Protein backbone atom coordinates (compact mmCIF):
# COMPACT_ATOMS: atom_id res chain seq x y z
CA UNK A 1 0.00 0.00 0.00
CA UNK A 2 1.20 3.54 -0.74
CA UNK A 3 -0.09 6.89 0.45
CA UNK A 4 -0.09 9.77 -2.02
CA UNK A 5 -1.16 13.40 -2.26
CA UNK A 6 -0.58 13.85 -5.99
CA UNK A 7 2.61 15.88 -5.57
CA UNK A 8 5.78 15.06 -7.49
CA UNK A 9 7.61 13.67 -4.41
CA UNK A 10 4.67 11.42 -3.55
CA UNK A 11 4.55 10.13 -7.14
CA UNK A 12 8.17 9.02 -6.67
CA UNK A 13 6.96 6.96 -3.69
CA UNK A 14 4.11 5.55 -5.80
CA UNK A 15 6.52 4.43 -8.53
CA UNK A 16 8.86 2.83 -5.99
CA UNK A 17 5.94 1.06 -4.31
CA UNK A 18 4.64 -0.18 -7.68
CA UNK A 19 7.99 -1.65 -8.68
CA UNK A 20 8.47 -3.22 -5.26
CA UNK A 21 4.98 -4.75 -5.39
CA UNK A 22 5.73 -6.07 -8.87
CA UNK A 23 8.95 -7.69 -7.62
CA UNK A 24 6.81 -9.48 -5.04
CA UNK A 25 4.13 -10.23 -7.66
CA UNK A 26 1.67 -8.59 -5.27
CA UNK A 27 -1.20 -6.13 -5.82
CA UNK A 28 -0.77 -2.44 -4.96
CA UNK A 29 -3.34 -0.26 -3.21
CA UNK A 30 -3.00 3.52 -3.56
CA UNK A 31 -4.64 5.65 -0.87
CA UNK A 32 -5.21 9.40 -1.01
CA UNK A 33 -6.42 10.74 2.31
CA UNK A 34 -7.89 14.22 2.38
CA UNK A 35 -7.66 15.76 5.85
CA UNK A 36 -11.15 15.96 7.33
CA UNK A 37 -12.28 19.61 7.70
CA UNK A 38 -13.61 20.92 10.99
CA UNK A 39 -17.38 20.51 11.13
CA UNK A 40 -19.66 23.55 11.24
CA UNK A 41 -23.40 24.15 11.27
CA UNK A 42 -23.53 25.68 7.79
CA UNK A 43 -21.72 22.87 5.97
CA UNK A 44 -24.82 20.95 4.86
CA UNK A 45 -24.62 22.08 1.23
CA UNK A 46 -21.23 21.35 -0.40
CA UNK A 47 -19.09 24.48 -0.45
CA UNK A 48 -17.12 25.46 -3.59
CA UNK A 49 -13.84 24.89 -1.79
CA UNK A 50 -14.92 21.39 -0.79
CA UNK A 51 -15.97 20.57 -4.34
CA UNK A 52 -12.63 21.84 -5.65
CA UNK A 53 -10.80 19.60 -3.19
CA UNK A 54 -12.79 16.57 -4.41
CA UNK A 55 -11.90 17.34 -8.03
CA UNK A 56 -8.25 17.76 -7.12
CA UNK A 57 -8.30 14.45 -5.27
CA UNK A 58 -9.77 12.69 -8.31
CA UNK A 59 -7.08 14.16 -10.55
CA UNK A 60 -4.33 13.28 -8.06
CA UNK A 61 -5.39 9.66 -7.62
CA UNK A 62 -5.66 9.22 -11.41
CA UNK A 63 -2.16 10.60 -11.85
CA UNK A 64 -0.84 8.27 -9.16
CA UNK A 65 -2.57 5.24 -10.68
CA UNK A 66 -1.14 5.98 -14.13
CA UNK A 67 2.35 6.36 -12.67
CA UNK A 68 1.99 3.07 -10.78
CA UNK A 69 0.86 1.15 -13.87
CA UNK A 70 3.80 2.43 -15.91
CA UNK A 71 6.35 1.74 -13.16
CA UNK A 72 5.09 -1.76 -12.34
CA UNK A 73 5.06 -2.70 -16.02
CA UNK A 74 8.86 -2.43 -16.11
CA UNK A 75 8.82 -5.55 -13.92
CA UNK A 76 5.41 -7.15 -14.53
CA UNK A 77 1.76 -6.18 -14.65
CA UNK A 78 0.03 -6.24 -11.27
CA UNK A 79 -3.43 -5.39 -9.96
CA UNK A 80 -3.64 -1.76 -8.81
CA UNK A 81 -6.51 -0.35 -6.76
CA UNK A 82 -7.20 3.18 -5.56
CA UNK A 83 -9.04 4.82 -2.69
CA UNK A 84 -9.93 8.38 -1.68
CA UNK A 85 -10.87 8.96 1.95
CA UNK A 86 -11.67 11.97 4.09
CA UNK A 87 -10.07 11.39 7.48
CA UNK A 88 -7.12 12.25 9.67
CA UNK A 89 -4.18 11.29 7.43
CA UNK A 90 -1.93 9.45 9.89
CA UNK A 91 -4.84 7.68 11.57
CA UNK A 92 -6.23 6.49 8.24
CA UNK A 93 -2.87 5.19 7.01
CA UNK A 94 -2.16 3.41 10.29
CA UNK A 95 -5.60 1.81 10.13
CA UNK A 96 -4.98 0.57 6.58
CA UNK A 97 -1.58 -0.79 7.62
CA UNK A 98 -3.33 -3.57 9.54
CA UNK A 99 -4.08 -5.37 6.28
CA UNK A 100 -0.99 -4.32 4.30
CA UNK A 101 2.27 -6.17 3.72
CA UNK A 102 4.11 -2.82 3.56
CA UNK A 103 3.08 0.82 3.80
CA UNK A 104 4.97 3.33 1.65
CA UNK A 105 5.01 7.11 2.15
CA UNK A 106 6.98 9.85 0.44
CA UNK A 107 8.86 12.82 1.82
CA UNK A 108 8.21 16.52 1.42
CA UNK A 109 5.06 15.93 -0.59
CA UNK A 110 3.38 19.32 -0.92
CA UNK A 111 0.30 18.83 -3.02
CA UNK A 112 -2.70 21.11 -3.26
CA UNK A 113 -4.96 18.38 -1.90
CA UNK A 114 -3.01 17.66 1.26
CA UNK A 115 0.49 17.03 2.54
CA UNK A 116 2.18 13.72 3.30
CA UNK A 117 5.23 15.17 5.01
CA UNK A 118 8.28 13.69 6.60
CA UNK A 119 7.15 15.09 9.91
CA UNK A 120 4.13 14.36 12.02
CA UNK A 121 2.46 12.02 9.49
CA UNK A 122 5.49 9.96 8.51
CA UNK A 123 6.80 9.83 12.07
CA UNK A 124 3.42 8.68 13.40
CA UNK A 125 3.08 6.08 10.65
CA UNK A 126 6.64 4.81 11.15
CA UNK A 127 6.06 4.52 14.90
CA UNK A 128 2.56 3.05 15.02
CA UNK A 129 1.87 1.14 11.78
CA UNK A 130 1.27 -2.59 12.06
CA UNK A 131 3.40 -3.46 9.01
CA UNK A 132 6.83 -2.46 7.69
CA UNK A 133 6.93 1.20 6.64
CA UNK A 134 9.03 2.49 3.74
CA UNK A 135 9.87 6.20 3.62
CA UNK A 136 10.90 7.10 0.07
CA UNK A 137 12.88 10.29 -0.61
CA UNK A 138 12.01 12.40 -3.62
CA UNK A 139 15.44 11.69 -5.14
CA UNK A 140 14.90 7.90 -5.31
CA UNK A 141 15.61 6.48 -8.80
CA UNK A 142 13.57 3.75 -10.47
CA UNK A 143 14.95 0.21 -10.45
CA UNK A 144 16.48 0.46 -13.90
CA UNK A 145 18.56 3.41 -12.68
CA UNK A 146 19.26 2.12 -9.16
CA UNK A 147 22.20 0.05 -10.37
CA UNK A 148 23.56 -2.83 -8.37
CA UNK A 149 23.78 -1.03 -5.05
CA UNK A 150 23.27 -3.35 -2.08
CA UNK A 151 20.51 -3.49 0.49
CA UNK A 152 21.80 -2.32 3.89
CA UNK A 153 20.43 -3.66 7.17
CA UNK A 154 21.23 -2.45 10.67
CA UNK A 155 21.85 -5.26 13.16
CA UNK A 156 22.02 -4.72 16.93
CA UNK A 157 21.42 -8.11 18.54
CA UNK A 158 17.82 -7.39 19.53
CA UNK A 159 14.69 -9.41 18.82
CA UNK A 160 13.49 -6.58 16.55
CA UNK A 161 16.42 -7.08 14.20
CA UNK A 162 15.14 -10.42 12.89
CA UNK A 163 12.19 -8.73 11.21
CA UNK A 164 14.62 -6.25 9.65
CA UNK A 165 16.92 -9.00 8.40
CA UNK A 166 13.98 -10.86 6.88
CA UNK A 167 12.77 -7.78 5.01
CA UNK A 168 16.29 -6.87 3.88
CA UNK A 169 17.15 -10.40 2.72
CA UNK A 170 13.90 -10.69 0.80
CA UNK A 171 14.36 -7.33 -0.93
CA UNK A 172 18.01 -8.00 -1.76
CA UNK A 173 17.13 -11.42 -3.17
CA UNK A 174 14.31 -10.04 -5.34
CA UNK A 175 16.54 -7.23 -6.60
CA UNK A 176 19.46 -9.58 -7.25
CA UNK A 177 21.91 -7.52 -5.18
CA UNK A 178 24.16 -8.02 -2.18
CA UNK A 179 22.94 -7.73 1.41
CA UNK A 180 25.24 -5.78 3.74
CA UNK A 181 24.63 -6.38 7.46
CA UNK A 182 26.07 -3.52 9.55
CA UNK A 183 26.69 -3.84 13.28
CA UNK A 184 28.25 -0.98 15.23
CA UNK A 185 29.80 -1.05 18.66
CA UNK A 186 32.10 0.87 21.03
CA UNK A 187 29.82 3.67 22.27
CA UNK A 188 31.42 4.21 25.67
CA UNK A 189 32.34 7.25 27.68
CA UNK A 190 36.06 8.19 27.53
CA UNK A 191 36.65 7.31 31.17
CA UNK A 192 34.81 4.04 30.70
CA UNK A 193 37.19 3.10 27.89
CA UNK A 194 40.21 2.97 30.18
CA UNK A 195 41.46 -0.60 30.42
CA UNK A 196 39.01 -1.89 27.79
CA UNK A 197 40.25 -4.88 25.79
CA UNK A 198 39.09 -3.67 22.38
CA UNK A 199 40.30 -6.77 20.54
CA UNK A 200 38.28 -9.08 22.76
CA UNK A 201 35.30 -6.74 22.56
CA UNK A 202 35.44 -6.74 18.77
CA UNK A 203 35.47 -10.55 18.73
CA UNK A 204 32.40 -10.50 20.96
CA UNK A 205 30.61 -8.12 18.60
CA UNK A 206 31.58 -10.20 15.56
CA UNK A 207 30.14 -13.26 17.28
CA UNK A 208 26.93 -11.32 18.02
CA UNK A 209 26.55 -10.44 14.34
CA UNK A 210 27.20 -14.04 13.32
CA UNK A 211 24.51 -15.21 15.75
CA UNK A 212 22.07 -12.62 14.41
CA UNK A 213 22.61 -13.83 10.83
CA UNK A 214 22.53 -17.54 11.66
CA UNK A 215 20.23 -19.43 9.30
CA UNK A 216 19.56 -16.61 6.86
CA UNK A 217 22.16 -17.75 4.33
CA UNK A 218 20.51 -21.16 4.26
CA UNK A 219 17.11 -19.55 3.62
CA UNK A 220 18.57 -17.44 0.80
CA UNK A 221 21.35 -19.60 -0.70
CA UNK A 222 21.64 -17.42 -3.80
CA UNK A 223 22.16 -14.25 -1.74
CA UNK A 224 25.58 -12.78 -0.99
CA UNK A 225 25.65 -11.54 2.61
CA UNK A 226 28.52 -9.26 3.63
CA UNK A 227 29.16 -8.60 7.32
CA UNK A 228 30.41 -5.23 8.55
CA UNK A 229 31.41 -4.76 12.21
CA UNK A 230 32.40 -1.16 12.87
CA UNK A 231 33.30 0.76 16.01
CA UNK A 232 31.21 3.86 15.49
CA UNK A 233 27.78 5.40 16.01
CA UNK A 234 25.07 3.44 14.15
CA UNK A 235 23.40 6.43 12.49
CA UNK A 236 26.68 7.62 11.00
CA UNK A 237 27.59 4.22 9.57
CA UNK A 238 24.11 3.49 8.23
CA UNK A 239 23.88 6.89 6.59
CA UNK A 240 27.35 6.55 5.07
CA UNK A 241 26.68 3.07 3.68
CA UNK A 242 23.23 3.95 2.42
CA UNK A 243 24.78 6.39 -0.06
CA UNK A 244 26.14 3.44 -2.06
CA UNK A 245 23.06 1.28 -1.54
CA UNK A 246 19.53 1.27 -2.90
CA UNK A 247 17.63 0.48 0.30
CA UNK A 248 18.24 0.79 4.04
CA UNK A 249 16.37 -1.45 6.49
CA UNK A 250 16.25 -1.07 10.27
CA UNK A 251 14.22 -2.71 13.00
CA UNK A 252 11.61 -1.07 15.17
CA UNK A 253 12.58 -0.45 18.80
CA UNK A 254 15.82 -2.38 18.90
CA UNK A 255 18.27 -2.19 21.79
CA UNK A 256 20.97 0.34 22.52
CA UNK A 257 21.81 3.20 20.17
CA UNK A 258 20.18 1.57 17.17
CA UNK A 259 17.02 1.09 19.16
CA UNK A 260 16.95 4.83 19.91
CA UNK A 261 17.60 5.62 16.28
CA UNK A 262 14.12 6.04 14.90
CA UNK A 263 12.02 7.96 17.37
CA UNK A 264 14.28 10.67 18.79
CA UNK A 265 16.38 13.53 17.45
CA UNK A 266 18.97 11.11 16.02
CA UNK A 267 16.38 9.06 14.16
CA UNK A 268 14.66 12.17 12.89
CA UNK A 269 17.98 13.41 11.53
CA UNK A 270 18.66 10.08 9.80
CA UNK A 271 15.23 9.98 8.17
CA UNK A 272 15.69 13.53 6.95
CA UNK A 273 19.25 12.96 5.72
CA UNK A 274 19.11 9.60 3.99
CA UNK A 275 18.66 9.89 0.23
CA UNK A 276 17.62 6.28 -0.31
CA UNK A 277 14.40 4.53 0.75
CA UNK A 278 14.44 3.40 4.36
CA UNK A 279 12.22 0.59 5.66
CA UNK A 280 11.28 0.36 9.33
CA UNK A 281 10.59 -3.35 9.76
CA UNK A 282 8.36 -4.96 12.33
Residue scoring higher pLDDT (110 or 250)? 250
CATH number for the 147-280 domain, one of 3.50.50.60, 3.40.309.10, 3.40.50.12370, 3.40.50.150?
Answer: 3.40.50.12370
Per-chain mean pLDDT for the chain = 82
CA–CA distance, 195 with 66 (Å, rounded to integer): 62
How does DSSP assign 229-249, residue by residue? Answer: EEES-HHHHHHHHHTTSSEEE
CA-to-CA dists, residue 113 to 55, 57, 79, angstroms:
9, 6, 25
Of 196, 169, 151, 184, which is closest to residue 260 (Cα–Cα)?
Answer: 184
Opening angle at CA 239, ends 149 and 2, nearest 5: 70
Which pTM value belongs to this model?
A: 0.84
Measured between alpha carbons, how far is residue 229 from residues 29, 182, 212, 226 in Å? 38, 6, 12, 10
Q: Where are the alpha helices (DSSP H) in 74-160?
A: 89-96, 120-128, 143-146
- Which architecture characterizes domain 2-39+47-136 according to CATH? 3-Layer(aba) Sandwich (3.40)
- Ranking 204-213, 239-248, 269-278 by mean pLDDT, the lowest is 269-278
Q: Kindly tell me if the per-residue pLDDT of 277 is higher than 50.
A: yes
* DSSP annotation of 104: E
The tens digit of pLDDT for each residue in 167-217 reads 999 999 999 999 999 998 865 555 455 556 768 888 989 999 999 999 999
Query: What three-state secondary structure class fits 38?
Result: coil
Q: Where in the chain is the domain with CATH 3.40.50.12370?
A: 2-39+47-136, 147-280
Amino acid sequence: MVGTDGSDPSIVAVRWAAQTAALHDAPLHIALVVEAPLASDDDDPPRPAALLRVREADEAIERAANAAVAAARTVRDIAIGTEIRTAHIATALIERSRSAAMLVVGTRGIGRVQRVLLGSVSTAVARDADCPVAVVPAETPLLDRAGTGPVIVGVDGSAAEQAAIEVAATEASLRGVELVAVHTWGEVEPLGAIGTDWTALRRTEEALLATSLAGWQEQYPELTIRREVVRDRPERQLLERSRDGQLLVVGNRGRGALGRLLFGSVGDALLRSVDRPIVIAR
